[in-house]
Amino acid sequence: TDHELDYPASPDQMDWASHYPAYFPAKDGTEQKQVEWADVGCGFGGLIMALGPQFPDTLMLGMEIRVSVTQYVADRIAHQRQLADKPGGYQNVSVIRANSMKHMPNFFAKGQLSKIFFLFPDPHFKLRKQKARIVTTALLAEYAYVLRPGGIMYTVTDVKDLHEWMDAHSRAHKLFEYIPTEEMVDDPILLAARTATEEGRKVERNGGDKWVACFRRLPDPEA
């Protein structure tokens, strides 16, 4: 039902084979692939559908809390897998229903991810709702846990106030370092992050601004 969330007790309990059957188990002698990119609050899945065929060797996952929206993305992926007319045939793309504010470490082991996306997250404009935002100091510690050193966190929003919030909290966190946007101009992944999602397209149609901030996961400080 809508009220029950399914999540593994720990990452090794997660059945990834059912999500990426073409990659499980690994072929003889090769290392088992794992999910490396997570699109948090993926909505209708535009990002992973765009990046899947561009990066067919990377397993990527959309995470979405709404049941019907998750199902829509799952159907979209299943349909594209049947067509199989693009590199990778979308076998490297999947979606899961999850509350990313609660369960990231249930799904991913420490340092498993190399990219994490927060694209046009719900703004929670009202002051008293700000603690419900998906980027907070407490949650950044969890995102840092699942991101490997050198991994990148992408944030994009059309809400300036939310941008300033995510930017300030991430810059203040000792495990994240701001990446000047100039360094990212040629990054095709950032291009997709800004333009490929349904919300990003809507903002474009309406002529809205987009605010971008990317952060690198720093190495853990020496104990």
Give me the active site residues, please: 122
CA distance linking residue 47 with residue 191, whole number of Å: 10
Q: What is the CB-side half-sphere exposure of residue 66 using CA atoms within 13 A?
A: 10
CB of 69 to ligand SAM, least distance (A): 5
Closest C-alpha among 135, 155, 122, 119 to residue 47: 119
Q: Does 218 bind ligand SAM (CB under 6 A)?
A: no
Tokens 């605010």 sit on residue: 211
Q: Does 100 bind ligand SAM (CB under 6 A)?
A: yes
Which residue lies nearer to ligand SAM by CB, 43 or 52?
A: 43
Stretch that binds ligand SAM, among 22-30, 63-71, 84-92, 166-174 (CB under 6 A): 63-71
Stretch that binds ligand SAM, among 83-91, 97-105, 169-177, 184-192 (CB under 6 A): 97-105
CA distance linking residue 200 with residue 180, whole number of Å: 21
CA distance linking residue 46 with residue 25, whole number of Å: 28
CB of 178 to ligand SAM, least distance (A): 21
Tokens 């996306």 sit on residue: 117
Annotated binding site for S-adenosyl-L-methionine: 41, 64-65, 99-100, 119, 197-199
